[in-house]
Structure 1
Amino acid sequence: MVRAIGAGWLQYVGNRNGKSLHDMLAAWDGQWMLALAHHGYNDLPANLTDAHGEQTADTAYAFFPGYPMFVRAVDAFPGISTYAAAILTSLVAGAAATVAAYRIGRWCALRRWPADEARGDRAGQIMAVLFASTPMSVVLTMAYTEAIYCAFAGWALWMILEKRWLTAGLLTVCAGLTRTTAVALIAVLVIAAFAHRRDGWRPWVGAALAPLGWLGWMVFVGIRAGSPMGWFRIQSNGWGTRFDAGAATVRYLVDTLSTNQTAGDVVTAWVIVATAVLIALAFVTRLPWQISVYGTLAAATVLLSTGLMNSRVRLLLPAFVVLVPIALALAQRSRTTQITVGVATTLTSAWFGAYMLGIYPYAI
């Protein structure tokens, strides 16, 4: 329902601004995803370029292969186009990620209130709504990697909480083939496995499996590019993405909140600030360390690097577990308050997603 409202408003805004829903759901990086699923990493259309308007022999390798591989597999079914396969993959993955958000919220609530199953269910439901109505949750219905990554990462994190080490390891491999944000998940699984090292061989195997997807892609691209840091070099050269300890983020916040009059940038700045506050709350409210550490590291991969600042809201979606403190707080409030917040976040998400795709002139 939350995403349906967002899609409906997106179509309306697109019509008012001369853009089709079809094109908006495959905009920007979506074009890369569709081309990689259809053509592979070779023979890509010349119009696909990096942030500087260039395409080299290595440019495409900035994009991880997981999502295009899944889309290609769905595309193999008769009567399904590459575009339909991409949107279907994101829709299914987004639904799976939402269920994972529910499980994580419920798990954290029951850890705090072990005898209150009803409150645990409420916290899980609220967490699912909050995840589905984050400011850029429109990306869960686009030809982008966020939906499938959040599905793998969300379920892997829940498996870690449940101490299902082998499944967590395999899901982390899949997440690592999808986005570099998986380094946060890998770190949590390795730390958790070490903490439970006396529980037999399963934690060790789970930890050993965890980095294989991400590391395998890094090695593959490194060999192709002729440098162990090949993937990072491609990202830096093509999109200006590199570690800077958050200096670019701080400059963006100061400049945006003092002089910028564009709604997209102002909201982005406040989302960054809110994320930092939620990370602090995760530790102050003593959430399970797996949640706090993953949320912190996932956000750090975004906020401590340079790059396109206007895409930060989308890139922060994989750190969705920082929403758990809000879900737990709302679980203790009245039903009226819960519904009011749910409606408000749904409408805000619908507006912002449609604004960024239908009106905002820059890439997201």
Structure 2
Amino acid sequence: MPRPLAALHRAAPALGLFAAARLTGMLVMALWAWHTGRSPRALLAMSWDSDWYLGIAAYGYGTTLYWPDGTVQSDLAFFPLYPALVRAVTTVLPLEGGTAGLLVSWAAAGAAAWGIFLLGERLYGRGVATTLVLLWGLLPHSIVLSMAYTEPVLTAFAAWSLYAVLTRRWLWAGALAALAGAARPNGIAVAAAVVVTAACALARDRGDRRAWVGAAVAPAGWVGYLLWVGVRKGDPLGGYFAVQAGWTSRFDFGVGTFGFVRTVVTRPMDLGFTVALALTAVGVVLFALLVLERPPLPLLVYTAVLVVIAVGGSGFFESKPRFLLPAFPLLLPLACALRRARPRAAAVVVAALAGLSFGYGTYLLALAPMAL
């Protein structure tokens, strides 16, 4: 069997479990949406940031909202790859923007699950890889993977870029990292992983030109968009960060995060904020456990950058678990532990996680008052 088909054949059980998890989660949410007289498709395709992405896909950049409190929100805060993919789908197929956005996200989620499986299989074997993919599909906030959002696209390019790094396909690693950087602001984590790993490889063998090229190309998507926004705003180096500041998003080394934690602990808050705090804390603990596992350098760098961006950034605290969705290596210690556990105990853990995922995903999309 040709290698790609053989790899897909090995991943088929994991992809089937992932699809079953996400379809069940969408079905539970759809039942509640129908019960309350709302459209499940509208909730999946046009909630929160999805509206901004679909607007960019349809009309290009140029939308700015001015709020009475002086806040200025520009669509330049949103990276261009996902809207470009949606626009490409609507150009080729007779689909509306929301449907095209869901098609892109679902295809990307499947590609991401496949890449995650291959990484897990290479490092720990097929059993751990299958468990890893299932856990990623059953995270409490994994409903995002079924929405018209950018996390599936980023994760797909990240997983395959990291796999290319581990297999020393430097040109593929750099190109995929560049695409990841054009998908989301935290896509720079993929470029960081490629650059650091390539630098270590070049320290051993300076004659590997492909490593040089891969490292040079990796940050191109992220840097290119920041410079484009900066030029458009009249400040090449600071323009994009000024746009993000309008959304109250900035990197302040965790000052805003700790301030919000104090607020959550001392005042009654909506469930989504409390759960976001708990999930972010769990992510930090899982990162510590991942470090103890001593994973390959690219996975460690990639995950570390994502965690630092999520914890060290301020604004939209309720979205921090979503920012950590692409950090799938955080689940490796749990996947390994479940494979070592007794089957009954592992089944209980997976069933509990599934119930939490389906219930909380429905809450986030159909009940929660805060942004996702």
**TM-score, normalising length: structure 2:** 0.89
1:53 is displaced (CA, Å) by 8.5
**2: distance between equivalents of 1:96 and 1:270?**
29
**Cα distance in structure 2, aligned partners of 1:354 and 1:88:** 20
Q: Report the 3-state secondary structure (helix = DSSP H, G, I; strand = E; otherwise coil) of the residue aligned with 1:217.
A: helix
Whether the aligned pair in 2 keeps the contact of 1:176 and 1:212 (CA below 8 Å) is: yes
Q: Does the Cα contact within 8 Å between 2:140 and 2:360 map onto a contact in 1?
A: yes
Residue of structure 2 equivalent to 1:117: none
CA shift, 1:277, in A, is 0.4
Separation (CA, whole Å) in 2 of partners of 1:188 and 1:51: 42
Q: Which residue number in structure 1 is paired with residue 53 of structure 2?
A: 33
- Which AA in structure 2 matches 1:232? F
Specify the SS of the correspondent of 1:240: coil
Aligned to 1:2: 21
SS at match of 2:326: helix
Summarize deviations over 1:38-64 as a string: whole Å, max 9, x none: 11114x5x7x678968666xx111110
Give, in angstroms, the shift of residue 13 of structure 1: 2.2
Q: How do residues 63-142 of structure 1 correspond to structure 2 at under 5 angstroms?
A: 63-109=78-124, 120-142=125-147
Task: Supply the distance in 1 between the matched residues of 2:84 and 2:152 (Cα, whole angstroms).
Answer: 14
222, 225, 229: which one pairs with 1:214? 222
Corresponding residue to 2:179 among 150, 158, 174: 174
Does structure 1 residue 329 correspond to structure 2 residue 348? Answer: no
| TM superposition shift of 1:339 | 2.8
Deviation at 1:5, TM superposition (A): 0.9
Consecutive unaligned residues in structure 2, runs of 5 or more: 1-19
> Contact (CA 8 Å) 1:17, 1:359: kept in 2 or not?
no
Aligned-partner Cα distance in 1 for 2:242–2:43: 29
Residues 306 and 155 of structure 1, relative CA distance in 2, 3 Å threshold: same
Q: Distance in 2 between matches of 1:209 and 1:216?
A: 11
Q: 1:155 & 1:338 partners in 2: Cα distance?
A: 28
TM-score (norm 1): 0.91
Residue 150 in structure 1 maps to residue 155 in structure 2: yes
Change (3 A) 1:87 1:41: same
Q: Distance in 1 between matches of 2:217 and 2:154?
A: 17
Q: Does residue 287 of structure 2 align to residue 252 of structure 1? A: no
Aligned residues: 348
CA RMSD of aligned residues (A): 1.9
SS in 2 for 1:317: coil
Instruction: Identify the residue that residue 235 of structure 1 maps to in structure 2.
Output: 244
The residue aligned with 2:166 is: 161
1:314 aligns with 2:334: no
The answer as to whether partners of 2:290 and 2:329 remain within 8 angstroms in 1 is no
State yes or no: 1:24 paired with 2:33.
Answer: no
Give the Cα separation in 2 of the matches to 1:55 and 1:240.
Answer: 10
Contact 1:13 1:355 in 2 (8 A): no
Shift of 1:191: 0.9
Matched residues in 2 for 1:254 and 1:297: separation?
24
Runs of 5+ unmatched residues, structure 1: 110-119
Larger RCO: 1 or 2 (CA < 8 Å, sep 6+): 1
Alignment check: 8 A CA contact 1:292 1:322 kept: no
User: Using a 3 Å threshold, how does the CA distance of structure 1 residues 168 and 50 change in structure 2: closer, same or farther?
Assistant: farther
- Check the 8 A contact 1:2/1:346 in 2, yes or no: yes
Partner of 1:361: helix, strand, or coil? coil
Q: Secondary structure at the match of 2:371?
A: coil
Match of 1:270 in 2: 278
Query: Structure 1 residues 217 and 51 mapped into 2: Cα distance closer, same or farther (>3 Å)?
Result: farther
Task: Tell me the alpha carbon deviations over residues 115-136 of structure 1, each in whole angstroms, 9 at most, x when there is no partner.
Answer: xxxxx11100000011111121
Cα distance change, pair 52–84 in 1 and its aligned pair in 2 (3 A): farther
Kindly indicate whether the alpha-carbon contact (under 8 Å) linking 1:105 and 1:328 is maintained by their aligned counterparts in 2: no
CA distance 1:96–1:52, shift in 2 (3 Å): farther
Q: Which residue of 2 aligns with 1:339?
A: 347
Structure 1 residues 345 and 193 mapped into 2: Cα distance closer, same or farther (>3 Å)? Answer: same
The aligned amino acid for 2:117 is Y
User: How far, CA to CA, are the matches of 2:30 and 2:279 in structure 1?
Assistant: 24
Q: Post-superposition shift, 1:229?
A: 0.9
1:277-292 matches, cutoff 5 A: 277-292=285-300
Distance in 1, Cα, partners of 2:211 & 2:260: 41
Cα deviation 1:66-90 (Å, max 9, x = unaligned): 0000111111124222111110000
- State the identity as a percent: 33
Aligned mates of 1:259, 1:39 — CA distance in 2: 42
Mapped to 1, the partners of 2:158 and 2:172 lie a distance apart of: 12
Distance 1:6 1:125 in 2: 19
Asked whether the equivalents of residues 117 and 132 of structure 2 are also in contact (C-alpha less than 8 Å), the reply is yes
Do the aligned residues in 1 keep the contact of 2:197 with 2:297 (CA within 8 Å)? no
State the alpha-carbon separation in 2 of the partners of residues 330 and 104 from structure 1: 17
